[in-house]
A and B are shown apart, each in its own frame.
Chain A
Amino acid sequence: MKKRLLATVLAAGMVLSCVGCGGATDTASASASASESAAASVEASADAASSEESAPAASGESIDLEMWCIATESDSNRHSYEAAIADVTAAHPEINFTWEAIENQAYKTKIKAAVAADEMPDIFFTWSCAFLGDFVSAGKVYCMDEAYQGFASELPEVMLGNTTYDGKHYGVPLTMNIVGMFANMDLLAQVGYTEVPGTYEDFIACCDALKAAGIIPLGCSGKETWCVTEYLESVIEKSIGADELNDIFLGRATWNNQGVADAVDTFQKLVNDGYFDPEGIALSNDEVKANFMAGKYAFYMNGTWNCADFAANADFGSKVKVAEFPVINADKASLGMLIGGPSDTLAVAASSAHAAEAAQFTFELGKEICHYGYLDGCGLPAWTPYYDTSAINPLTQAVSEICANAKTYVLFGDTAQNADDANTYLSYVDQVYGCAIDGAGFIAGLANDIR
């Protein structure tokens, strides 16, 4: 039963390569026979995993490999990195492995600086699509095609869509995540809801009821604009449909789109109607998340990587449910259109002295990080699981079910667009959240300022 579910999750994952990055056309056609091949690879992977361990060391010499990532001690992925590194380094005594974790925002600056300076570590964490794309087009990333041959049976090629440029693979995906609408069922029960509202009208009615009962419906950090996009992009996607939004993100269509303007107005109405916590604008995401877990908000829309932290909290874990954001315009959008996809990626520097070994090592490490990350509830696996997944927390399992019904994924707007455009976009999202501009101003401004 579990395996079937996972196979369908992967089948859904296939679709994302259709909407992935620039040069990812090769993999798109593979999606036809998706579910069979994925199911088959589940069977195959168990053997592959065991034979892995006995792989002979490449040479007697010890080599140094250094890795940078963002799994700091407060990051929910920390444990999966530590466990995976312990496993893989134990299997490779010839490799002298060191790693360093840097806080998310600082990391973005640091890795770009290192790329510009040709001082990259051998292995580095990156976001897929545009972020990695900048480095690839600068010729700074090692092509993984050769190393991938040994892992093709465990890592479906479709999962590489977001890290494939001009038909070549440049990254090892770890976990994939979507935006989920988390709900505190205790608070919803107080206004008579036993389930997460399934339609938009119902959602609004629920928010009104919550407000009337003195409960803040929505929590969102205004200090970190990406948190606002988790809401806004869901609203836009459920208004104009996934394909249109994706075309806009990838520069194939203009921002000058009346549907987007209307969707932005819809979102702004949520703000103006006072559904959001007004204090959120000055809080960081960590603080908002802590408030949500303390029962201050009924809903919190954010990445499904949060499942791990929510489920691990004995008190809160039983109260929270995750659901898909409801459809706003049924003519253009439907359930199953999701925001997200495999974004967390490890890549190897072209400048690495041992790039080939590093690539091999990265695949093994990525597989294990994915393994532990999935077990911990940090996201869904990009790799085909070969292990018992029944102990995975119910929230993450609920996310798998949502993904099992997925039709299309649109990658997070700030990952899909290149750095300059993404920041222009975030700047306008900021202004929407602060009600400094409306939908018309949003599309006009972006159409004008995106170069």
Chain B
Amino acid sequence: MGKEIYMKKTASDRLNIFLFLLPGLILFIGILIAPIFLSGYYSLFNYNAVSGEMSFIGFDNYKEMFSSNAIGFMKALGNSLLLAALSVFLQLPLSLGLALVLGKGIKGERIFLSVYFMPVLISTVVIGQLFLKIYNPSYGILNIVLEKLSIISADNHPIWLGNKNTALIACFIPTLWQYVGYHMLLMYAGVKSVPIELREAAMLDGATSGQVNRYIVLPYIKSIIKISVIFAITGSLKSFDLIYVLTNGGPLHATEVPSTIMIEMLFQRNRYGMGSAIAVMLIALCFVFALIVNKIFREED
């Protein structure tokens, strides 16, 4: 942000700065920052949602969160970390591959780009409902195709969302499907911004296109990759919509994530205190991971 200051500071500037910042600050502090502290405060209480009664219980909610088998927070956390790992190591490489291929400029580049980005514009609930139908054990297109290909037999259709071994992966696939295009377009933007001269010079030196990608393009778009990684991880930690539509945490809590547990605490069990404790954990996790990713990318330099 190299900027030249063009005017002398005047007394009214202080007021102006304040006024220009005001709408943003009101929104930001009122809706984001203050609620975090309020959540932290609520999390120390046994707070009944219906009666509004609050009694101070210290860190008991946190203790219960980690110890209660019926809540299963650790399991949910593990699930969302697994989703995050899948996003980073499966979804992003796929996006990057597409971005590199398309960014190089091939015939039909724009058509591919447009179609790949299409799922991003579809509402997540629609995608969830659609995949519910795709996965349907008896009539879903997936099992029908697999049966036609003789991969599965007619009388033994897998129940993708009902089997605790496959449910989480089955929930991940629609996310992959929807967001590959999103990350691809981000990275494509980066690839396209690589100065021609750099590429040209490398090519003249006899670099293969793989080497160009490795030594010229990737370092150049590192900051975009970093943003993608942060988005993918925090996105997985806070994933809710798709899981809510597909399994709502089942079967047997196999697809439970912190957000689904939080909603159950808040609106099925009337426990605002415990729900807030989970919210605080979520925020803390998102921050910690953002810091870790930042650090990893910094050390790369």
B-binding residues in A (CB < 8 A): 108-109, 112-113, 115-116, 134-135, 137-138, 140, 222-223, 278-283, 419-420, 423-424, 427-428, 430-431, 433-434, 436, 445, 448-449
Contacts and interface: CB of A to CB of B under 8 A. Distances in A.
A135 B49 CA distance: 10
A431 B256 CA distance: 13
Given A138-B51, A282-B162, A449-B68, A423 B251 contact: no
8 contacts: A112-B267, A116-B49, A134-B270, A283-B162, A420-B269, A423-B70, A433-B252, A449-B68
Contacts of A109: 267-268
B138 A279 contact: yes
B296 interface: no
Given A116-B52, A138-B50, 15 more contacts: A108-B268, A116-B49, A134-B50, A134-B51, A135-B50, A138-B52, A223-B251, A419-B268, A420-B271, A423-B269, A427-B253, A431-B252, A433-B252, A449-B69, A449-B70
Contact of B50 (A116, A424, A428, A445): A116
A47 B155 CA distance: 61
Ranked nearest first, the 3 interchain pairs of A and B with the lowest CB-CB distance are: A282-B162, A138-B51, A434-B252
Interface of B: 49-52, 68-70, 72, 135, 137-138, 157, 159-164, 247-248, 250-253, 264, 267-271
A335 B159 CA distance: 37
B52 A282 contact: no
Nearest to A281: B162
Contacts of A137: 51
A448 B70 CA distance: 10
Given A436-B252, A445-B70, A282 B270 contact: no
Contacts of B248: 223
Contacts of B269: 419-420, 423
A419 B267 CA distance: 9
A265 B163 CA distance: 21
A112 B270 contact: yes
B49 A424 contact: no
Contacts of B264: 423
Nearest to B159: A282
B171 to A, nearest CB: 12
Contacts of A279: 137-138, 157, 159, 162
Contacts of A116: 49-50, 52
A115 B264 CA distance: 17
B69 A445 contact: yes
Contacts of A423: 70, 264, 268-269
Contacts, number: 85
Given A108-B268, A112-B267, A445-B70, A222 B251 contact: yes
Contact of B164 (A419, A428, A434): A434
B155 to A, nearest CB: 10
Nearest to A441: B69
Contacts of B162: 222-223, 278-283
A280 to B, nearest CB: 8
A117 B24 CA distance: 28
A421 to B, nearest CB: 9
A118 to B, nearest CB: 10
Q: Give the most central of B70, B138, B252, B267: most A CB within 10 Å.
A: B70
B250 A424 contact: no
B270 A420 contact: yes
A430 B255 CA distance: 13
Contacts of B164: 434
A138 B48 CA distance: 10
Contacts of A223: 162, 247-248, 250-251
A290 to B, nearest CB: 11
Nearest to B270: A419
Nearest to A426: B268
Contacts of B160: 282
Contacts of B252: 430-431, 433-434, 436
B52 to A, nearest CB: 7
A434 B164 CA distance: 9
A116 B248 CA distance: 24
Contacts of B51: 134, 137-138
Contact of B70 (A140, A280, A424, A434): A424
A430 B49 CA distance: 25
Q: Give the most central of B50, B135, B161: most A CB within 10 Å.
A: B50
Contacts of B163: 281-282
Contacts of A420: 269-271
Contacts of B250: 222-223, 281, 430
A278 B264 CA distance: 26
A430 B50 contact: no
Contacts of B159: 278-279, 281-282
B245 to A, nearest CB: 12
Contacts of A278: 159, 162
